[in-house]
Structure formats: C-alpha cells, structure tokens
Amino acid sequence: MSAIAVSPEAAPDVTADYVTRVQIDRSCRQTVLGYYASAVAWLLIGSLAALITSVKMHHPEFLGNYEWITFGRIRPVHLNTVVYGWSSMVGIGTTLWLEARLCKVRLPHRALLPATVIIWNAGVVWGVYEVLAGHSTGVEWLEFPPQVLGIFGFVLLVLFWVSLKMFNQRHVHHTYVSQWYLFGSVVWFPILYSAAILLPTTGMVGGAAWATTNWWYAHNVLGLYVTPMGLATIYYLIPKVTGKPIYSYHLSLLGFWANALFYSWIGTHHLVGGPLPAWIITLGIVGSIMMFVPVTTVAINHHMTMIGKFHMLKTSPTLRFVVFGAVSYTAVSYQGSLEALRSVSHVAHFTHYTIAHAHLGMYSFYTMTMFGAMYYIVPRLTRNEWSSVPLIKIHFWTTSLGVLAYFCALSWAGWYEGEMMNNPLIPFIKIVDYTKPYLVARSLSGSFMTIGHIAFAILVFRILRSSDVSMIGPTLFTSKRGMMRWRRKEA
C-alpha cells in the first residue's frame, strides 16, 4: 500500500484501527453526505445571490424592477444562505464525522440524523423565502423569522445530544484538541442562537441593548461556532495528512480556553463610535486585543506542525486548502484585533474594509478549510476518488486568487472610503464615485470564486453519483492521467 501513501516518510496506518475507521465512515455516510450535498447546493445559491448583490452595487438598475430581489433583500439572502446554508451544513457534517473518528465510535441515531438534514434545509428555505417576500426581521445575521429557532434549535439539540453521547462512549483515553473545539461549538451555538432570538423578541432586551445583543451574537457566530469548527478541522487534518503530531498540547489548551474567554466579548467592536457608553466599547476592544493570545498560540501550533512538510502542499489538495485556511485564520484574526482599535475603526468602520475583513474570515479561512475537509472526507464516505485533477486545480486557483483579489480591492477601497468620509469637504457622491471601480473588481473576483464553486460542485456531484466506479490511488495535484484508472467495483 505504501505506493499510494500520501506521504512518503510516514507509513499509513493499517493496523486493526482501520477496520474501526471503515465502520465509522460507513455509519456517517448517509448523514454527512447529506449535509455536504446540501451545503454545496447552498454554496451555489449563496454565490448566485452574492453576484446579483455585487452587480447591483455598481449597476443599481440591474434587475431593479423586481421587488423580491431588490438589493436590500438579496444581500441578506446571500449572507444567510452562506452562513446557515453552506457554512452551517458543511460544518455540522464535518463535526459529526470528526467526532465519530475522534471518539472511535459509530455515529448514533442513524435514522434521526439524516432526517435533520432535511429539517435544517427546510429551515433555510423557509427563512430565505420570508426574506425575499419582505418579512425580514431587520436584524443583521438574524433576518430569518424568529420561529426558525424552532427548526434550527431542534437540530442543534440533536447535535448536542449526539455529540455528548459519542463523547461519553468514546474509545480513546486522551481527548484530542479538535474534540474540545467541536464540543464547544455544539454547546455554544444553541445558546447563542436562542438567546439572540428570544431575549429581544420576548421584550426582555430592547433599544440600544438590542444592538449589543445583535453584535454579541453576530460576532460569536464567527468566534464560537464557525471558528471552532474550522480550527478543529485544521487541527485534525494537518497532522492527519502529514503524519506529524500537532506541535504542542500546552499551546492547544491555552489557545482553546483563551479563545473561549476572550472571543465572547469582542462583538461590540462593531459599534465603536456608536451610541453606547464608553465601557461597552472598551470591553469589546480589550477582548479583541486579547485575542492575540489564542490566535498566536493557534498559529504557532498549526504552522510549526507544518514545518518540514511544506512539500506536501504540492501534492495534497486537502492540505493545500487547509493550510490556506490556517494561514488566513492567522491573518484575519490579527487584522480583526487591530481593526477593533478606536483609531483604526475611526476610518475602517462603516466601509467596505469591514466587508473585505469578513470575507477573509468566512471565506479565506473557514470556507477554504471546509473545502479541504470535504476533499479528505468525501472519498472515505463514498469509497471513491475525486474524478478530475484539472477541476480541483481550477477550484483551488479560482477561489484562492479570487478571494485574495476581493480582499485587496475592498480593503483598499474601504480604507480610502473611510478617509474620505472623515473629510467633510468631500461630497458624499464623490466617495460613491471613488468606490465604483472597486465594486466592479469585487464582482469580477466574485465571479472567479463562483467558477471555482461550480467546478467543485461538478466534482462533488460526480463523486456522489458514480458510486459504482472507483479509481486506484488518491487524486493528488500531481496525479497523472495514467494513475487514474477507473475500475468497476464488482457489486
């Protein structure tokens, strides 16, 4: 088997353990693939919504006669489909698989879990419909009707229950760091989500405190839900693919608890300069600066593990995507900490700079990491190999270059937009004019990313559908045509 090992030095693990793995993968198959397939569908829908939004920003008349897709509706549709459709579903799928693998137990509740795929999808569809029909709640990141809580909340409870069960029945003595993050996100998110919906809608919180609740939620979605899932994946996949142990247990521990402690405070940096007493803003800023602690530890841990294994980026699609995500995580977190400072926020707040930052986080870090995860996990569940090296290459280069171009264009435009906005002698319309070329650049880089998503969707579609053929050997960037022989499984 060593001929097809991913890494030449480390030997693949073919001990009795692998029987367990096969069984675990099999137990995950239906659920995780269900989540993944839905996630990719939402990714495509989200990209379409993003493109329409983006074009409307420089050509406001584009599809301007249709109330259902006016800018103010299609934009939240983009955000909610990529957050609750793509990111959540790909994250939940990955969480379940990772937990099963890390606990060495089969996925329990194999009738209920696939049903949650349908239930979650129904929630997103309903929410999107309500937003398009003009019934948004008007609270950013929570535009879906509050009743969706019933749907998502149910699935999240199932998820919590399943995670707890697997954790209590685990067949390992040592709890690996990914496990903490996943378990953290499974506990945090239901609380976040229900608090952010219930507190205001029951009237317990209102007025300006609704704004702090809103941003407490919206930033914690990133920090206590999306980031833990992304980091758990990176923590798992870098050692898994390279065969090296993660650099330091102590750093993992420090990083996890520092993240838990500080991240939950930083949401109010979205209101710097806003109508909130100084102390609330100050706490948000301090939380953001203290995020240097977990971020630095995580960065050392990830990047030190990679040392000596960089050559594998040439071959392994998984590793390349995941390391791209890990590097982006470091970058976006440092940027975010600095952005919270009053002196930076003074310029960057309210501008496209923030949008660029958000995409560096949600896309460059999280989404790229999840692409990597899917490249790793899906072949194990389908017992199939990815069908085309060129498509993977297209996927990687369009998305990575696309998001970089996106980030650069909007950061630059946003910063100058902010500088101009702070100069009262520049007419507002001049600022609008200034940003227009960059908004066009955004549409172009967004189209690039969408091309990548389509390539990826084709790959996923093929690997899911052709369940009766398999290839010999993994699909690496360096795989040659000859190595990709198709073989019919004798079924």
Closer to ligand HEC at the Cβ: 12 or 64? Answer: 64
Residue 111 within binding range of other proteins, rule CB under 8 A: no
Q: How far is the CB of 436 from ligand HEC (least distance, A)?
A: 10
Distance CA 162, CA 111 (A): 12
Question: Smallest distance, Å, CB 115 to ligand HEC?
Answer: 38
Contacts of 115 (CB under 8 A, 6+ apart): none
Burial of 112 (0-12, 13-18, 19+ CB in 10 A): middle
Q: Which is nearer to other proteins, 265 or 329 (CB)?
A: 265
Which position among 41, 58, 59, 72 is part of the footprint of ligand HEC (CB under 6 A)? 72
Residue 330 near which of other proteins, ligand HEC, none (CB within 5-8 Å, type-dependent): none
Work out whether the CA dihedral 59, 60, 64, 68 comes out positive or negative.
positive
Of the candidates 8, 147, 169, 461, which one interacts with other proteins according to CB under 8 A?
A: 169
Nearest distance, CB of residue 358 and ligand HEC, angstroms: 17
Q: By the 8 A CB rule, do 93 and 36 touch?
A: yes
- Sign of the alpha-carbon dihedral angle for 224, 129, 359, 349: negative
Q: Which of 310, 428, 461, 486 binds ligand HEC (CB under 6 A)?
A: 428
Pattern 293-312, binding to other proteins, x per CB under 8 A? x--xx--x---xx-------
CB of 354 to other proteins, least distance (A): 7
Within 254-293, the residues that bind ligand HEC by CB under 6 A are: none
Residue 4 buriedness (CB in 10 A; 0-12 / 13-18 / 19+): exposed
Give least dist CB 111 to ligand HEC, A.
45
What is the contact mask toward ligand HEC in residues 355 to 394, using x (rule: CB under 6 A)?
----------------------------------------
Q: Tokens 């407490």 map to which residue?
A: 216
Asked whether the beta carbons of 319 and 242 are under 8 A apart, the reply is yes
Using CB under 6 A as the binding rule, whether residue 71 contacts ligand HEC is answered as: yes
Give the footprint of ligand HEC on residues 432-461 (CB under 6 A). 432
* Beta carbons of 86 and 42 less than 8 angstroms apart: yes
Give which of 164, 152, 150, 166 is closest to 105, Cα–Cα: 166
Q: How far is the CB of 138 from other proteins (least distance, A)?
A: 3
189, two tokens: 């998110």
Element (H, E) at 469: strand 469-471
Q: Which is nearer to ligand HEC, 57 or 82 (CB)?
A: 57
Q: Which residues make up the interface to ligand HEC (CB under 6 A)?
A: 57, 71-72, 428-429, 432
